[in-house]
Amino acid sequence: MSDTEAVLSSYLDHLAVERGLAANTLASYRRDLLRYVDHLKTRGLTRFGDVAEADVVAFLAALREGDERHRALVASSTARAVSAVRGLHRFALREGAAGHDPAHEVRPPRRLRRLPKAIGVAEVERLIAAAGPDGQPLTLRNRALLEVLYGTGARISEAVGMAVDDAEPEQVRLRGKGGRGRVVPLGRYARQALDAYLVRARPALSAHGRGTSALFLNARGGRLTRQGAWEVLQAAAERAGLDGVSPHMLRHSFATHLLDGGADVRVVQELLGHASVTTTQVYTLVTVDKLREVYAAAHPRARR
């Protein structure tokens, strides 16, 4: 057994006995670290005292690239393996098996930030147009709900939590996370859809119930639930031929379309009810991608 293998065996025993790692976690560490020790062997290294930072960095690159025996790892799996390697070198230093820690400055790759998904304006129009058969009370409710979700960026819980008094002629009041309230302007389409629902549909739906101040009602006259609102959206999306549409996607679309239209990110922050502008700034990444696409397609010196 080589020096690196002996230290690795001791480290795995340490993780199992003293740290009490779960069996699955320990198995993942063992797999990653056996691959690391094998990587060191191919570089002629059998003692941790001889390992340099460049050797650890090379292992990081090998994880991401893969080879004939190993598939390339995604960022999250690579980060786990690098974390295991860093722990192994700290252990080797502490146990006197090495005089330095070559992995100390090696950082795992950042996980790619998942950008919010949005649908285009034309797809939003198709979705709302597919609210249901014209003239029926539930169709008027569905169209008003979809217009409010997209027109205000409301979370689904905020939309179904609205009372009739929260819908004013030019704006709506929404109650967000932590009880934070905000006022969001209503666009013309949302105002028209809400007016039609309140005048021509809500009274008929309310007659089936016991009376409630909720804005959006179900067929029995009670408050529309989150699940009921979700089903409204899914049914409209299916009729419109759109896949994977969610209430949060309409919220993302609201923010993205505002920024594409030139809105300031802090204004969008207020409209979305984000406590920090940092949360809102993820949407600017989407619009930067859009700018790149437009630039690449339109600028004569950008074409290849």
* Mean pLDDT of all residues in 250-272: 86
pLDDT tens, position by position, 42-61: 999 999 999 999 999 999 88
Out of 248, 266, 292, 295, the active site residue is: 248
100 is catalytic: no
Residue 257 designated active-site: no
Given a cut of 70, is residue 286 above it in pLDDT? no
Contact 167, 198 (CB under 8 A): yes
Catalytic residue list contains 80: no
CATH 3.10.290.10 fits domain 3-94: no
70 is an active site residue: no
The β-bridge partners of 175 are 181
Q: Where are the domains of the chain?
A: 3-94, 121-297
Q: Among the options 11, 36, 197, 283, which is catalytic?
A: 283
Number of H helices, E strands in the chain: 14, 2
Per cent of the chain over pLDDT 70 is: 87
pLDDT tens-digit readout, 101-136:
999 988 876 655 565 678 899 999 999 999 988 879
274 among known catalytic residues = yes
**263 — pLDDT class (breaks 50, 70, 90):** confident
Which entry of 182, 191, 257, 274 is annotated as an active-site residue? Answer: 274
Architecture category of domain 121-297 in CATH: Orthogonal Bundle (1.10)
Residue 299 annotated to the active site? no
With a cut of 80, say whether residue 24 has pLDDT above it: yes
Residue of 89, 155, 191, 202 with catalytic role: 155
DSSP-assigned states of every residue in 249-280? HHHHHHHHHHHHTT--HHHHHHHHT-SSHHHH
Domains 3-94 and 121-297 share a fold: no
Say which residue, 79 or 89, is predicted with more confidence.
89
87: nearest Cα among 38, 33, 131: 33
| Contact predicate 119/138, CB 8 Å | no
| pLDDT tens digit sequence for 58-81 | 998 888 888 778 888 777 788 888
Query: What's the rounded Cα separation, in Å, for the pair 241 and 252?
Result: 19
